[in-house]
Amino acid sequence: MQVHTLANQNLQLNAAEIEIRCDGPARQVDIEVVAETGSTNADLMARLPQLQCPVLRIAVHQTAGRGRAGRPWLTVPGGMLTFSLAWHLPQAPQHLLGLPLAIGVALAETLNTLGLSVQLKWPNDILRDGKKLAGILLESTAAQNGGTWIVAGIGLNLQVSDALEAEIGRTIADAPWLARMDRNALVASLLNALAPTLEQFATQGFSSFLPRWNALHAHAGQTVNILDHGQVLHTGVALGVDLHGCLVLQTTQGQVNVMAGDVSLRPATP
């Protein structure tokens, strides 16, 4: 494992301090900490052809962070934890549909053990008290020697100001308790969950994560709308997800399995 640190010491992010807290599969990951970058996902995606092992890249501040469907992910230094993990998987890209959900399970279960009560919103968000606490952006490219390199970007709100909420245009969740936690211990806890999750997905796919995801499903049994660019595609009761990570809806026309793509889920208004 190699470590590289250019951190803001006030935020106590240090690659070597994260490394000593890593165990199991996480110890094979090279860890990089930088004070600022445009996007940790973009940084790693550009380097995938040269990577020889998994890499975790953490930025104290991202100036061009991205969410799903190209939406911007606004950050403030110290108020959020933003990082990306590059990892090689043996599956072809078309067999990774459930991967964002498996990553969500790993993050949510870890946050719950750290004292938060969180749930999963299909397909890529973690909710606290019904509001977005964290998001996942998964990008991938076919590897030259087979399989797929993936880059999983994570944004976790730690302490959010009223000004940032106003800029985003909606209320979001944060976790002041985690904001006071040693950042290196927090990152190591998350990496210690993500690394074995990716190893497990490499051998078992999404099947072993399915019941765990459904147990954390924020909208189980609720009527929801599935939107595509603001237009309602489906309305139905959210039953859970299937073996491919598709959302299973019970609609008035019957059962529908919705693939993630760029669609989004919103609770249906009464």
CATH of the domain at 98: 3.30.930.10
Tell me how far apart the alpha carbons of residues 157 and 80 are, in angstroms, rounded to a whole number.
Answer: 5
Share of residues in the chain with pLDDT > 90 (%): 72
Q: What is the pLDDT of residue 216?
A: 98
Q: Which of 8, 49, 7, 12 is nearest to 32 (CA)?
A: 7
Q: Which residue has the higher pLDDT, 268 or 2?
A: 268
For residues 185 and 238, state if they share a domain.
Answer: no
Number of domains forming the structure of the chain: 2
Q: Which of 167-171, 209-213, 256-260 has the highest mean pLDDT?
A: 209-213
For residues 147 and 228, state if they share a domain.
Answer: no
User: Distances in Å between the alpha carbon of 245 and those of 2, 165, 188, 210?
Assistant: 34, 30, 27, 8
For residues 77 and 121, state if they share a domain.
Answer: yes
For residues 229 and 164, state if they share a domain.
Answer: no
For residues 56 and 94, state if they share a domain.
Answer: yes
CB count, 10 Å around CB of 46? 11
**pLDDT tens per residue across span 109-153:** 999 999 999 999 999 999 999 999 999 999 999 998 899 999 999
Beta partners for residue 36, in sequence order: 61
Q: What is the pLDDT of residue 7?
A: 39
For residues 62 and 190, state if they share a domain.
Answer: yes
For residues 179 and 235, state if they share a domain.
Answer: no
Known catalytic residues? 68, 132, 266
- pLDDT of 169 above 60: no
Q: What is the pLDDT of residue 10?
A: 38
For residues 191 and 225, state if they share a domain.
Answer: no
Peptide linkage before 54 cis (omega within 30 of 0)? no
Give SS3 for 38: coil
For residues 101 and 228, state if they share a domain.
Answer: no
CATH of the domain at 244: 2.30.30.100
Parent domain of 261: 220-267
pLDDT band at 168 (very low <50, low <70, confident <90, very high): low
For residues 78 and 207, state if they share a domain.
Answer: yes
For residues 146 and 246, state if they share a domain.
Answer: no
Q: Which of 190, 209, 193 is nearest to 201 (CA)?
A: 209
Tell me how far apart the alpha carbons of residues 135 and 154 are, in angstroms, rounded to a whole number.
Answer: 6
Tell me how far apart the alpha carbons of residues 83 and 175 are, in angstroms, rounded to a whole number.
Answer: 17
For residues 128 and 146, state if they share a domain.
Answer: yes
